[in-house]
Structure formats: C-alpha cells, structure tokens
Structure 1
Amino acid sequence: MFNINHKQELNKRRTFAIISHPDAGKTTITEKMLFFGKAIRSSGTIKGRGSGKYAKSDWMNIEKERGISVTTSVMQFTYKNILINLLDTPGHQDFSEDTYRILTAVDCCIVVIDAAKGVEERTKKLIDVTRIHNTPIITFINKLDRDSREPIEILDEIEKKLELSCIPITWPISCGKNFKGVYHIHDKIIYSYKNRALNKNFFLDFRDVYSSSNKLVKNYLGTDLSRHIHQELELIINIYPEFDNKKFLKGSLTPVFFGSALGNLGIDHLLSGLIRWAPSPLYRRSNKRIVKPEEKKFTGFVFKIQANMDLKHRDRIAFMRIVSGQYTQGMKLRHVRTKKNIIVSDAFSFLAGDRLSIKKSYPGDVIGIHNHGTIKIGDTFTQGEDLKFIGIPSFAPEIFRCIFLSNPLQQKKLIKGLIQLSEEGAVQVFRPITNNKLILGAIGVLQFDVVIARLKIEYSVNAIYKEVNVILARWIASKNDYSIKNFLNKHSAYLGYDSSNSLIYLAPSNANLKIVMEQNPDIFFEKTREQ
C-alpha cells in the first residue's frame, strides 16, 4: 500500500527553479504562476515603491524597499492537480551563490529571456551551472508586448551561446504595439492578446491562418500580417524538429514559449508544458550511493538557511529538499554530521514569507524545520543511514569589507547577527588570526548593504563597512598536517578562520597569492568547497 500511494505522490509533483538575468521579468512570472495556481487572489505590477503592493516572493523588508529579489523564495501550490514546488531565485548578480545552491535542489529549470535583449551574461553562467547536473530546461521568452528582436534570431542565439537545441512550442504574432498574441504550434490555437472584440481564441491549422474562410482571423490580423505569419509558421514548422522528451530530460534540448508575463499571456502555456514534460522527483548522489525517491526510508539535505523569517520570534529556518521516503510529523531523524537524533515535531511548507504547518511531505517537496544553530547548509538527514549528499558548493568570495560598530557595546549582538546571517550562505565571515577584526566576504557589493540593513532591522545593531586590504580568498588544505602547521606559522598575517573554523588565506593581491602558491606546492588553495 505504501508503494502505490508513494508512487502516486511522486507522479503528481514537480520541483523547479526560475532563473534569469536581472530585469528579465522573473519575479513577475512567479507572481502570475501563483495567480494561475490560485495561491494569490490578484496579480499585476508588483514592484511599485510606495504603493504598498509587493511581489509575493519578495518578503524581506529590503526587497520591498529596493524592488529587487535578494533571497530565494520557496513556494508550493497546485496547478491542474499537480503539486508544484517553485523556487524563485535572486535575480541580482550579487546573490549568485544562493542561486547556485538552489539549482542542486530542483529537477527542472525555467530560464526567462528578455525578447529585446536576448541571451545575457548571467543567463549563460546559470545555464553552465545547470549542466553540472544535466538539469532539464524550459525557456520562456518574455516581454513580447515591447519592441523585440526577431524570434528566429533569439533562438539562434540560444543555440549558439547556451548550446541548447530549441523547439518552439508557441510562436509570437508580431511584437511591441503590434503584438497580436501567439500561435500554439502543438495545440494549433491562436491565443489573442488584449482584444476586446474577440470573445474566444482560434483553433486552426497554420495553413488556415491565411485563408479566405477565416474572415475573423483575417480581420484581427490584417491581410499583410496574415500572409507574413503564414510564411513564418511554414518555415518554423519545417526547419525545427518535433519535441523529443528524452533529449529534454538529458538537458540538451529546450522547449521554447513566447509571451508577456505583465500582459498575462503565455504563463498558462508555460505551466502546462512544465507539468507535461518536467520530471517527477529525481534521484540524488551521496558519498556512498545513489538515493532514489522510491525508497521507503526518509533522506533529505539542507540547501538553504534563512534567519528571521518571523521577526517576532527571531527564528531560523533550514530548508530541506526531501530525496526519498516521506516526512511525517513527529518523526525521528538522524543529523548525520553531528551524529545526533532529533525529533522533528513541526515542519512547514511555504508561500514565500508565509508558512503552513504540515503533517506529511514527499520527495521533491521542500520543507522548513527549526534551526537552533546546529544545522548548516549541506547537512544530510536520514532515518539512520550514515550518508551525505554531495554537490552542494560554497564559493570563495570575490569582494571583501571590514565591519565596524557605531556602538562598541553591541559587539555580542553583532557577532550573533553575523553568525546567523552567514549561516544563510550569502555572506561569509572571516576572523583573522592576528587581530580582532571581522572581515566579510561576498560575491557582490550589494550583499554588504543587505547585511548592514538586516543587522539594523533584525538585530538592532548599527554598523558600517569599510574597504580592507584583501583581494582574494582561498581555503587551505593539505595531505600533510605538518605542512599546514608550517604554513600557518609562516603566513599567519594573511590567515583567518571562517564560520566553520576552516583555515582560509586572505590574499592582498593576485601577485601575493601566486608567489605563496609557488612557494608551497604541497598546499592546496581551493576556490570552492563542499558544504
């Protein structure tokens, strides 16, 4: 009985992330998906400062103030009887490390591309990360209601820059002020865009687009546009092969949808494609074996920690992707890293900042459990087996700042706040061996602004940051304990510890790092490390 029910639960789940270059419309698409899933009652322009109306996925105060997404939001909703776990990733490039870790917890990605800008730099970097796991990718080309590039040109760019074979599922009918809608190649339907004179969409073969028998269509499109669309569709249908689900699941082929998230056209097509083609929960690799979702015993891994989701209670939530088995309220789990058993009396599902207590969850689901400072990103939980899921990275920071207090008496509160914020993984805290400074490391400058703002709002700590003479950081490792001890004695002025007490070299220049690496061939200087 367990197996039948378990299989049914797996089949009705999809877990995916939305990724894009900043300002491609990713958060708007998230909002529309929640609307179609009836998780929210209204949608529309979602980032108006001063309007009091914000994106559901942007729940932090700084996100509302600046109109940007700076942390990953987890949302669960139902669409056409399919349970969807949606992870809306930070769009801003300064928060890429959070996004990279999120991609380890999903089974599919939707990549959003601005129709006017095409493939941008951050999009390419994110796609490179998905290739590590061969993650299936669905593409949505957004903002067709604005002046755009030629659709074929965008598809060519995707194939060249992202090395993905494109299969258009829908096709735009003009763009900008002349945008009339999309033709659904698979369903053979024209979906009109904001035309009050039309009470229905049109079901027709593309050959009928330019046909005297379809007067309503010709009146809507006009003779010239009808002829142009007819010729364009004939070309598209002939040059692009049919959708191949096997190639899609291997991550080498992407179905492409066109539309306007703001104009509410194309999101339902995207969702329908997702639940039709995206895989149900997939296996994950551990240090001992492959763990399959069909297995009876529970396993899961923590890919994100968020402090102060509830400011009244100052709580910390660990986000866990369930890999196998099922969660039931009050179950006992083994925290593999600490070798301790815990009773999970309460777990949550999410709608961004809102949470709902749950009694059962299955593979593919993301649940939140309370963290009292013992759980870290990358931790594995099981029903007794000592294994660890692999492939959850931590990256060396690229920018560094020293943090100072306005009031020295707040030192304890500062350290508490920094420890909790660093647990989230967006910023790293280093303690130099030779002094009492606190150095913050991050991927982008904006992360420091977020830390300062959150210290003030969430911990009542007033702090500022200043530049520090650190350019690069590398974790130190060696097969020889003596080499580490000798290295520490020689270079203590440039060494510190991170929040996990791992030794790290804080280089003042590229030249300095190069020389030290040449002088110490038995020392490994690592850019990344497993959590």
Structure 2
Amino acid sequence: MSNHPPVSTIEKEVGRRRSFAIISHPDAGKTTLTEKLLLYAGAIQIAGSVKARKASRHATSDWMEIEKQRGISVASSVMQMEYRDCIINLLDTPGHQDFSEDTYRVLTAVDSALMVIDAANGVEAQTRRLIEVCRARNTPLITFINKMDREVKRPLDLMDEIEEALGMSVVPITWPVGMGKSFSGVIDIASSQMRMFKAGEDRIGHQADQLVSVSDADLKNKLGESLETALTEVELVQGAMPSFDLEAFLNGQQSPVFFGSAINNFGVQEILNTLVELAPAPKSRSTIQREVLPSEKNFSAVVFKIQANMDPAHRDRVAFLRICSGYFERGMRLKISRNGKEVRTNNALSFLSQRRDILDEAFPGDIIGIPNHGLLQLGDTLTEGEKLQFTGLPFFAPEIFKMVETADPLRTKQLRDGLMQLGEEGAIQVFKPMLGGQMLLGAFGQLQFEVVAHRLKSEYNAEVRLLPARYSLSRWVSSKDPAMLKKFINDNSHRMSEDVVGAPVFLAAHRSELEVAQQLWKDIEFHALREHAGLVFQKDLLS
C-alpha cells in the first residue's frame, strides 16, 4: 500500500505543475520552439539534438526513425523539465494533419496549450482544426507568432486573422519592431520597454538584460521610422482590443500573444515565464461516476497514449498516463477499472523524449510511463481500487481504408502481432472482418499508411502490401437492446468488423449504404466517434 503524503503536500505539488501541449501547422517552428524551451529550462545543453553515435543531429522530440528521415514529427513526445520551482510537463504533438487523432488525444491530457504560428503564413488549416478541439474543451491558449526575422505578414493583419480563427479575443503582450532583415526586437507593452534582437544570438542569457525604454533618445535615433510605426500600432491595438484578463484566459476565452524567432532564441524566455506565471495548475477531471479533484489522497490516472517499440531492443509497449489525483510511488499497486486487473509499477518511467528514467514518485499533472505487454488500452483508468472511468478520450471514424497483406506468407504472425500493437497504440485503426479475410486499416491520411508500413518492416520484420479497399466510411454501432444489436450484426455480417478492443464496426462503400441501414434499423445507433467511456462495448455481447 502506498504511503500517502498529507493532502497539503499533494496540494503544494499540484500548484507547482504546468502541463501543456505545443500545437501548430507543419513547419511553423514547433519542434524548434520545443528544443529552445528545453534549452532555456536547462533540460538539454545542445539545441537541435540528442547526439547520435555518428554525431548526426535530430530534434530531441523526434525519435522515431522515419521522423529522422523525413524531418517531420509523427508521434507525440513527452518531456519534463523544472523552471523557476515549477515542474513543466511539455507534450509535443505531430504537426502533420494525418496524425490529428493522436494530437486530439494528447490535448485531453494537458491543462493548457501553446499555439505556434508562422508569421509569413498566418493561421493554416491544421491549426484551425486544433483550435476547434481546444475551444471545445475551453483549453487556455497562449499564442506565439514565430519567424519574425523573415519577411512576414503585417502584425495587425495577423492579429485580425488569429482573432477570427480563434473566435476569441487576442491580447498582444509583446509587439514587433520591424520584420525580416529590419527586425529589431519586441516592445513589452506593459512596461514600455524594448527587448533588442540580435540575429544568430543563440547563447542563453545574452538577450535577457537587453531592455531599453521605448522613449530612449538613442533608440529613437537608431530605429527611426520602424519604432514610430510599431508604437503607433501598439496605440491602435490598445485602443481596439481589451486588456489582458486572467480569468478570461483561464476559461479559454482570451489568448495572450507573443512575437519572436524561436530559431534565434528570441521570445522563448517570455513564453516560459508566462507558463509559470499564468498557465493553470491541474484542475478537477470528470469521470462517469464523479468529479475527481487533483488534491485527493488516492491516486487516479488515465492512459491517453500508447507507444510500441520506443526501445527497439526490448519490443516494449509504454502506456503514457496523465496523473489526475493523489500521489504516485514506484511499486504501488494499481488496478485497471475496466477489468480489475493489477498493474505493476516497479518500472514506471519519466521522460525527456527518448531518454527514460526510472521514476520514484509523481503528482497530478505529471505524465508517467508504464511499460506493459498489451495489458493497458487507450482510455484505461488506473486507481488504487475505486472503480472510475475518465471521459473524453476520442476515437474518430477513419476516412480512408486499405486492405493489408504480408509480402511473405511465413510472416503472417508477425504481421498480425504488429498490427494489433500499432492498433492498440492508436497509430492506425485496425479492423478484423467478422467473416474472416484480410485485415483492414483505417486512417485519416496517406502518410499514416506509409508510417505503419515502415514500422511493420523495421520493428516487426513484416513487409506488407497495402491494397485498395472498397469501403469509404465506418461507424461504430450500439443499441440499448443487446438482442437487436446481435441481430443487426448477424444480418450485416458481410459488412461488419471488430476494432482492436472488440467493438463492432459497420463498414460502407458509399454514404447511401449507411443511410439505408440507419432507416431500416431504428434501434441501432451509428457513431462517428467512439469515446473510451460513454460508449462501452462488451466482447461477450457478440459471442
């Protein structure tokens, strides 16, 4: 049994926690900013890398082999760091839209989000989708407008665009002076001081003290018209936009905006300070049974991500847990609410991307890893015994389907094992036809199929062929009447599959087939979203 610390200790530790995700469109500079935040917090010494044996550099948060080859993030990474007596849990998300489902699930595990926008491109398509998820959850959002050292859109135009996309008010905390080659720095609006920019300045601390009053005569002579323009814009913005309101920010109704250049370390310190000073500590979370407070004595956590083969030498699967309440101590006995099974916690992990450390203790807001062999599923709740089920973890009906077969019939077992593991971690959705035959893969974009094929070959030694499938949409099915659900499944068995948790799925080649089924079967509910809780499926129902 765990030796629980007093509630006052848990409350104090909860107050120190800041858990946030970085979201953006691809190429907005998200991974660079992630690196620089780690650098400023002292978590790494070299920006751009964990050094490989051949001294090739890759971003700390991009550890999967295909990410290194393509230079994109396709898996979410977890990193913990300490800054100004706060414990910051940073979750980097895939920027590529094909991996949006993984990003949506990560956003359920954080208390705030940092949105990175490319100042040249403004608010792009993928950013808009992620904003919708944040808005739906009222997630507090900090905005960082990146790449001001390039030729970009006018800051006033960017503010209008972001406000329109967010559907909430935006409040600039800093304001840029110039852009591209004439970018001179940012004005701190509250203090009327300017932080000077020096291109290529990548050593920590060099810019922290370069603050000059905007009324300084030498500064006005040096910058001339660009400073005058910036000050006029600040005046316009202050007249047209509301002042910063902490309560509105915490309720997801207002976003503070910062300008900078992540690659030059410019504006990074302000972001870290804002996270510590303004971003929320962990709050209460909903379960089907009740509301769970972070300061409760007893431990509870939810599995929001599973990653297979983080260490290729050990063929492991790590379940990432967001701690929601209580105190975690290595070796404590935890139970899965779904089936009552016990989980071992002797090898619990903390993370700095691919660097893993055995963890002795953790508190609400922290992200911990539990290595396991298929025992834990996405959405599982772990407690010290109380039966709870956290809500809100989404699974979306995929939009593209492929049949999968092995290039070598002798590798069929490896293919099935690999697909089940990749399906369980949410890398792709895997469907097993109820009448037998080839496994089906469902995804949101072509790149998901490419990544899965690559991983099957490199991690499971199973080379595959992906073939066109005749289906174009799917729906999970349920009914209040188990006998009616069983009859529906039997009568439509040629279109029925099971997903990785045994939930029944109806597949259709055209929308008209779905519409006909909905008209004929009034007692059956068709779901485009399967949430782990709230839509519960039992395998034995189908036996």
TM-score, normalisation: structure 1: 0.95
SS state at 2:333 partner: strand
1:14-413 map, 5 Å: 14-44=18-48, 52-194=56-198, 201-204=210-213, 206=214, 208=215, 214-221=216-223, 223-413=224-414
Name segments (4+ residues, structure 1) moved above 4 Å: 44-47, 195-200
- Give the Å deviation of 1:471: 0.3
2:419 aligned residue: 418
d(CA) in 1 for partners of 2:36 and 2:386?
A: 41
Alignment partner of 2:263: what SS?
Answer: coil
Give the residue type in structure 2 aligned to 1:312: A
User: Aligned-pair distance for 1:130?
Assistant: 1.3
Amino acid in structure 2 at the alignment position of 1:401? K
The 2-side partners of 1:100 and 1:516 are apart by: 29
In structure 2, C-alpha distance between the alignment counterparts of 1:195 and 1:300, rounded to whole Å: 44
Partner Cα distance (2:389, 2:258) in 1: 38
Q: Aligned with 1:388: secondary structure?
A: coil
Q: Is the alpha carbon distance of 1:349 and 1:18 closer, same or farther for their aligned partners in structure 2, counting shifts above 3 Å?
A: same
CA distance in 2, matches of 1:441, 1:448: 9
2-structure distance, mates of 1:220, 1:285 = 56
Equivalent position SS for 2:501: coil
Contact 1:28 1:46 in 2 (8 A): no
* Cα offsets for 1:164-202 (capped at 9, x unmatched): 211100000111121111111134321111169998523
**Secondary structure in 2 matching 1:141:** strand
Deviation at 1:501, TM superposition (A): 1.4
**Native 8 Å contact 2:326 2:363 kept in 1:** yes
1:12-48 deviation per Cα after TM superposition (whole angstroms, max 9, x unaligned): 110000011111111111011111111111225999x
Q: Which amino acid aligns with 1:69?
A: S
Please state whether the residue corresponding to 1:140 is helix, strand or coil.
strand
Distance 1:461 1:421, change over 3 A: same
Structure 1 residues 330 and 110: alpha-carbon distance in aligned structure 2, compared to 1, 3 A threshold: same
Equivalent-residue separation in structure 2 for 1:341 and 1:307 (angstroms): 21
CA contact (8 A) 1:405 1:463 kept: yes
Deviation of residue 79 (structure 1)? 1.6
What fraction of aligned residue pairs are identical, expressed as a percent? 47
**CA shift digits 1:240-271 (9 cap, x unpaired):** 33211000000000000001111211111111
Q: Distance in 2 between matches of 1:427 and 1:74?
A: 20
Query: Which amino acid counterpart does residue 178 of structure 2 have in structure 1?
Result: S
- Structure 1 residues 45, 295: CA separation in 2 closer, same or farther (over 3 Å shift)? closer
Paired residues, number: 522
Query: How far, CA to CA, are the matches of 1:437 and 1:233 in structure 2?
Result: 62
**Structure 2 residue aligned with 1:211:** none
Tell me how far apart the structure 2 counterparts of residues 129 and 85 of structure 1 sit (CA, whole Å): 20
Which ranges of structure 1 fall in alignment gaps of 5 or more residues?
A: 209-213
- Aligned counterparts of 2:358 and 2:425: Cα–Cα separation in 1: 22
| One-letter amino acid of the counterpart of residue 16, structure 1 | F
Q: Is the 8 A contact 2:49 2:60 kept in 1?
A: no
Compute the displacement of 1:52 (Å).
1.8
Counterpart Cα distance in 2 of 1:389 and 1:311: 31
Structure 2 counterpart of 1:441, one-letter code: G
SS in 2 for 1:414: helix
Which residue of structure 2 aligns with residue 501 of structure 1? 502
Equivalent position amino acid for 1:7 in 2: E
Instruction: Tell me how far apart the structure 2 counterparts of residues 284 and 485 of structure 1 sit (CA, whole Å).
Output: 35
Which letter does structure 2 place at the counterpart of 1:151?
Answer: P
Task: List gaps (5 residues or longer) in structure 2.
Answer: 533-543
Of 81-90 and 427-436, deviating more is 427-436
